[in-house]
Amino acid sequence: MLYRSIFLIFFFLLSSDVSFSKWLEISNLQVKKEITDQGGAKIIIEYDINDPEISSDSPAYVFVRFSKDSGKEWYLLPTKYLRGDGYDIVDSPGHKQVIWWGPTEMSFSNLDQLKFKVLAMKMIKIPGGEFIMKAIPGGGYDGSKSQNRVSGLSTFYVAKYETTIAMYVDYLNEVGGDGTGWNKRMSDNLRCGITQNGASPNFTYSVIPGREKFPITYVSWYDAVAFLEWCGLRLPTEAEWEKAFRGGIFLDGDEKKQKSNLLPERKYPWGNEAPNEGGIYRCNYDGADDGFENSAPVGSFEKFNSPNGVSDMAGNVAEWTLDWYTTTYHIGIDGFRVVRGGSWMAVPVECDAITGATSIPLKESSIMGFRGAK
């Protein structure tokens, strides 16, 4: 096999401080180009992912973005082109390798102009199998779907934390030069915290200091979908959201059936105790008694995660889901979407497993955010 010299290595670590942005720490990024013995090119991307808590139950989702014009425009590198142990769902920390086969087949030839970003977020595995869903998807108002409750799902992954302001700013600084994805309400330093700088088409964005770890708000359903497509993810369905909240009949799934869910119909992620029962505050809801007047930094109530370990599913910000509430067309915009989970403005009883809301997808609210799924 013939080797070419290592070409330009572009190291872009979005945040080495997990406590702020909730991107996982990536270090020692190296990229090299090799010519195979058949004359084709391949790109080898190597890096270290350092979070010791990464496991098969709590893996990292890793995605690669690349630029073919030295950083002017960026693209998601589709996983269908990749091999190795360092892309997509990564279930152990350490040194990883991603191999991109056939880069010259993607409409460009100057490999020396390639630059790369490797990003990772903490996910939770929700094993496939039966669960008890109380809500009818879409409230029974989506004519394209069955009005029967879902009783089982295949294995899926959901982000452990709600998407943070710092993560969203990294997205804006790549795609938002013309203002896409930002609105002026995001500059509210109590309910969001993103400033827009410069002028179109070269806007840049920054986080108001101290707001990095708070959940992103004032995002429409379309904004949430666009961010997650940038990552290679999607919104959870309403059924997935409810299963991540409650857990399945077996927390390790129907294939193993070794770990029973003691409360498969639980009202809240932690059980059936009210969010403020006994003077213990289990999530962020209306008022300041729980320690937060508005939203709270993601993971502030990790002691009261869901059975599989998902944070902030009750309160903090209500979360967009993939599901429609109705397929009726509304004055030039498409149908309502389902929002679940309660928020920092909800009374405690509204932070349960089935209480939800519906909203037009263009709505941008201080109480609504989102998390990713795969």
**pLDDT of 330:** 56
Average pLDDT over residues 89-109: 86
**Residue 25 pLDDT class (50, 70, 90 cuts):** very high
Do 111 and 17 fall within a single domain? yes
Structure confidence by residue, pLDDT tens digits, 214-245: 999 999 999 999 999 999 999 999 999 999 99
User: Tokens in use for 371?
Assistant: 């998390």
pLDDT in tens, 335-344: 889 999 999 9
Same domain, 143 and 183: no
Please list the residues that pair with 49 across neighbouring strands.
Answer: 26, 94
Q: How far is CA 64 from its chain centroid? A: 15
Do residues 23 and 171 both lie within one domain?
no
The answer to whether residues 49 and 7 belong to one domain is yes
Task: Let me know if residue 233 belongs to a domain.
Answer: yes
In a domain? residue 242: yes
pLDDT over 50 (residue 48) = yes
Does residue 73 sit in the same domain as residue 149? no
- Residues 140 and 258 placed together within one structural domain of the fold: yes
Per-residue confidence band for 40, with pLDDT thresholds at 50, 70 and 90: confident
Residue 201 belongs to domain spanning: 165-207
Same domain assignment for residues 316 and 335:
yes
pLDDT band at 301 (very low <50, low <70, confident <90, very high): very high
What global pTM score does this model have? 0.91
* Cα–Cα nearest to 87, from 65, 62, 66, 55: 62
38 and 95, same structural domain?
yes
The answer to whether residue 219 is domain-embedded is: no
Strand, coil or helix: 369: strand
222 sits in the region (left: phi over 0; alpha: psi -120 to 50; else beta) called alpha
Verify that 117 and 23 share a domain, yes or no. yes
- Residue 218 resides in a domain: no
CA atoms of 248 and 239, how far apart (whole Å): 11
Q: Is residue 309 part of a domain?
A: yes
- 46 CA to centre of own chain: 23
Per-residue confidence (pLDDT) for residue 114, from 0 to 100: 87
pLDDT higher than 80, residue 9: no
What is the bridge-based pairing of β-strands 115-126 and 156-159? Answer: antiparallel
More confidently predicted of 104 and 120: 120
Determine, yes or no, domain membership for 331: yes
Q: Please give the tally of structural domains in the chain.
A: 3
Judge whether residue 361 has pLDDT over 50.
yes
One domain, residues 135 and 196: no
Which pLDDT does position 137 carry in this prediction?
65
